[in-house]
Amino acid sequence: MRVIARTQQDLFAEALRGLMDLVKGEGVQNDEVRAQVQVTAPDATALLIDFLNEVLTRCHIRREVYGRVVFPSMSAVALEAELEGHPVASLGEDVKAVTYHEADVREDNGVWSTMLVFDV
Amino acid sequence: MDKRNLVKIHNWLWEIPRTYRADMKVPARVYASEKMLDSILGDRSLEQLVNVATLPGVRKYAIAMPDVHEGYGFPIGGVAAVDEQEGVISPGGIGYDINCGVRLLRSRKSLDEVKSVLPKLAHSIAREVPSGVGRGGKALFKGADLDRVLSDGARRIVELGDGVAADLDAIESGGRIEPADPKLVSVHAKERGQDQLGTIGSGNHFVEVDVVDKILDEAEASRFGIASGQIVVLIHTGSRGLGHQVATDFIREMTAAMPRYKISVPDRELACAPISSTEGQHYLQAMAAAANFAFANRQLITAGIRRAWRWEFGEDEPLDIIYDVAHNVAKTEEHQLDGTKTKLIVHRKGATRAFPGQPVLIPGSMGTASYLLVGAEAAMRETFGSTCHGAGRVMSRMRAKREINGEELRERLANMGIIAEAASTKGLVEEAPEAYKDIDAVVDIVQHAGIAKKVARLRPVAVVKG
């Protein structure tokens, strides 16, 4: 999946949206769920991959998908995220992990981008 | 990279010399026919193999099998042995699905005897052995119960009554790899795995009822208790979400730790740590625990298949294990290096241990053959006792979904006399025969090269998958 955005925060939010589109299965319930995630990493690429894996793990364990995210804080090596979503009866695509393969978060002339490869 | 960068050693073996790239510590070798090599050069798997040849402590050669294809960091179908003292351990060299592996069960029935009940049998197996995305098993293992499984693997499942002591004799390492420590498996990993024991999962994992199509070595076939026309059952699955989470956790941990050890790697997925370091030791202990989870998983799946079998054929019809072998794991082994016995950590990612005399199980895709091989002496000299693990993908899952029609595939399988009991058409299409290399060609190469010997060809008659 190729992700492009105007800011680092938007890039992370769009990447999450893409991941959730894949894992969203059937039977999305009306109940709202919230979660907070904190991640630190050596650089922005690792930060994105570790963040997505953290959320993916929650999806698998809690059978939830998250449609909204707000980042109260984000730097190149740390973030706090507040997630909102819904329980689901079942997950869709079996994304087992978000890999570092070809991932490279970069900013060129105000455009943030990366490639993401999922282990399915 | 193209063919000019490779030196032909013989008709089935090619070498990428150390001079190909300045950072290579050893040459890289690939087992392939010239035709297969052309196909292998179509992706980046050999560039990935060269990256493996740069790892600290790597010995002799980085090796690719004929079923090699591009993976994350390490190619799938790769073998790398590193010195226990000076080397590194890399979770990417084992893969996300720790101890993905294969188990083969032997029945006393012939195809003629089971033909009429095959649809019912496949349905019974599907009911007893859950498959598909997020499908949990019938048993929940939490807390101390799960820790016992992580410590003792298939042995714990046999202790709980699902199997017999003789089962353990027919499993690699007796169904339990050391030095497993459940404390080093994260809470997240345990939560992902607690309801997954006894389940196949999705992707290329399956339970397959096969008929022995052709005996290729009478003496070895007799030793393994199989004959032409006999029905056998093949199980292909691994450590499910628990193993994936262990890999994710430690790739992250090692990525952070590498600067401390002044290690840099050409690909982030090769993240590694010295074997002697805390991170290296912790990974080995967590990986062993995940491998034990996978052995336990295949043992519980076996129990489910045996129940289905008994319903159809009665209490006195056994399904004995011929063998169970991992193809995604790292193990401490002693091998000869320059005439000296040396302790090495052998990473096998999409490669099967193939010690002389040991059964080697090579699963194919639906609609093509699978093989029972036996390990051979040359494997000890050349490949750290390893051989291929399957057919190897040539088409991504996304491409398969775009190009293959599910209904047409079901019809084609039916015309070939194969019953497909699949949780989803999507899962079926992703694993269509045309998405894989020609398995007959793959095993021909390892036989010609002398790193394994063909014993029997197996043909699927019923497939149960996610």
Which domains can be identified in chain B, with CATH numbers? 3-465 (3.90.1860.10)
Q: Give the whole-angstrom CA distance, residue B331 versus residue B318.
A: 32
**pTM here?**
0.95
Cβ–Cβ of A100/B134 closer than 8 Å?
Answer: no
pLDDT for B73: 93
Tokens standing for B224? 């393994």
Q: Give B255's contacts in chain A (Cβ within 8 Å).
A: 41-42, 46, 100
Q: Look up the CATH number of the domain holding residue A92.
A: 3.55.10.10
Q: Give the whole-angstrom CA distance, residue B59 versus residue B54.
A: 10
The pLDDT of residue B257 is above 70 = yes
Tokens standing for B271? 């993240």
The pLDDT of residue B266 is above 90 = yes
Q: Give the whole-angstrom CA distance, residue B270 versus residue B22.
A: 18
Q: Give the whole-angstrom CA distance, residue B207 versus residue B131.
A: 10
Identity of the residue in B202, B269, B466 whose CB atom sits nearest the CB atom of A99: B269
Taking Cα atoms as reference points, which of A10, A27, A28 lies closest to residue A18? A10
pLDDT tens per residue, range B119-160: 999 999 999 998 876 667 778 899 999 999 999 999 999 999
Cβ–Cβ of B256/A41 closer than 8 Å?
Answer: yes
Per-residue confidence in pLDDT tens, chain A, 120 aa: 999 999 999 999 999 999 999 998 778 888 999 999 999 999 999 999 999 999 999 999 999 999 999 999 999 999 999 999 999 988 888 899 999 999 999 999 999 999 999 998
Name the pairing type of β-strands B328-337 and B320-326.
Answer: unpaired
pLDDT tens per residue, range B296-338: 999 999 999 999 999 999 999 999 999 999 999 999 999 999 9
Given B123, B236, B389, B448, the catalytic residue: B389
Domain that holds residue A60: 2-103
Residue of B nearest to A92 (CA): B133
Taking Cα atoms as reference points, which of B103, B325, B302, B319 lies closest to residue B199? B302
Q: Which residue has the tokens 């939830």?
A: A64
What does each C-alpha distance from A18 to A15, A62, A98, A111, B365 come to in angstroms?
5, 19, 12, 18, 30
Query: In this structure, which long-range contacts are made by residues B333-336, counting pairs with CB atoms below 8 Å and at least 24 apart in sequence?
Result: B333/B81, B333/B384, B333/B385, B335/B81, B335/B380, B335/B384, B335/B385, B336/B380, B336/B381
- Amino acid occupying residue B274: P
Residue B44 Cα, gap to closest chain A Cα (Å): 12
Does the residue A112 lie in any domain? no
Q: Give A117's contacts in chain B (Cβ within 8 Å).
A: 72
Q: How many residues does chain A have?
A: 120
Q: Give A119's contacts in chain B (Cβ within 8 Å).
A: 72, 96, 244
Neighbours of B402 (CB within 10 A): 10
Taking Cα atoms as reference points, which of A117, A43, A115 lies closest to residue B256? A43
Does the residue A111 lie in any domain? no
The pLDDT of residue B423 is above 80 = no
Q: Give the whole-angstrom CA distance, residue A41 versus residue B253.
A: 9
Interface of chain B against chain A, CB under 8 Å? 72-73, 96-97, 133-134, 188, 191-192, 201-203, 241, 244-245, 247-248, 251-252, 255-256, 259, 267-269, 271, 397, 466
Cβ–Cβ of A60/B134 closer than 8 Å?
Answer: yes
Does the residue A108 lie in any domain? no
Q: Give the whole-angstrom CA distance, residue B222 versus residue B203.
A: 33
Any chain B CB within 8 A of the CB of A25? yes
What does each C-alpha distance from B17 to B9, B30, B50, B80, B449 come to in angstroms?
11, 11, 10, 16, 19
Core vs surface per residue B226-245: b (16+ CB within 10 A) or e: beeebbbbbbbbbbbbbbbb
What is the mean pLDDT of the segment spanning B205-220? 97
The pLDDT of residue B233 is above 90 = yes
Cβ–Cβ of B134/A94 closer than 8 Å?
Answer: yes
Query: In this complex, how many residue pairs, one in chain A and one in chain B, have their CB atoms less than 8 Å apart?
Result: 70
pLDDT tens per residue, range B47-66: 999 999 999 999 999 999 99
Q: Give the whole-angstrom CA distance, residue B354 versus residue B377.
A: 9
Cβ–Cβ of A100/B96 closer than 8 Å?
Answer: no
What is the mean pLDDT of the segment spanning B74-85? 97
Cβ–Cβ of B241/A120 closer than 8 Å?
Answer: no
Does the residue A98 lie in any domain? yes
How is B377-430 classified by DSSP, letter by letter?
HHHHHHSSSEE--S--BSS-HHHHHHH--HHHHHHHHHHTT-EEEES-HHHHHH
Does the residue A77 lie in any domain? yes
Identity of the residue in B188, B203, B255 whose CB atom sits nearest the CB atom of A46: B255
- Amino acid occupying residue B450: G
Any chain B CB within 8 A of the CB of A100? yes
pLDDT for A25: 78
pLDDT tens per residue, range B441-460: 999 999 999 999 999 999 99
Active site residue B389: yes
Tokens standing for B130? 């859950």
Does the residue A81 lie in any domain? yes
Does the residue A97 lie in any domain? yes
The pLDDT of residue B269 is above 70 = yes
Helix B278-313 and helix B240-257, axial crossing angle in degrees, nearest 10: 170
Instruction: Supply the mean pLDDT for chain B.
Output: 95
pLDDT for B392: 75
Backbone dihedral angles phi then psi of residue A113, each to the nearest 5 degrees? -155, 160
Query: Computed over its alpha carbons, how large is the radius of gyration of chain B?
Result: 21
Q: Give the whole-angstrom CA distance, residue B57 versus residue A103.
A: 27
pLDDT for B407: 87
Q: Which residue has the tokens 């459940």?
A: B182
- Amino acid occupying residue B459: R
State ipTM: 0.89
Of the two residues B134 and B68, the one the predictor is more confident about is B68
Q: Give B201's contacts in chain A (Cβ within 8 Å).
A: 94
The pLDDT of residue B433 is above 90 = no
Strand partners, A107: A112
Cβ–Cβ of A103/B268 closer than 8 Å?
Answer: yes
Identity of the residue in A45, A57, A94 whose CB atom sits nearest the CB atom of B188: A57
What is the mean pLDDT of the segment spanning B273-286? 98
Count of structural domains within chain A: 1
Q: Which residue has the tokens 């169970």?
A: B324
Q: Give the whole-angstrom CA distance, residue B179 versus residue B311.
A: 39
Under the banding of pLDDT at 50, 70 and 90, the label for residue B239 is very high
Cβ–Cβ of B134/A97 closer than 8 Å?
Answer: no
pLDDT tens per residue, range B150-186: 999 999 999 999 999 999 999 999 999 999 999 999 9
Does the residue A110 lie in any domain? no
Cβ–Cβ of A46/B192 closer than 8 Å?
Answer: no
Under the banding of pLDDT at 50, 70 and 90, the label for residue B353 is very high
What is the mean pLDDT of the segment spanning B217-233? 98
CA dihedral B313, B317, B322, B326 (to 10 degrees): 50
pLDDT for B6: 98
Residue A70 Cα, gap to closest chain B Cα (Å): 23
Taking Cα atoms as reference points, which of B172, B151, B198, B202 lies closest to residue B104? B172
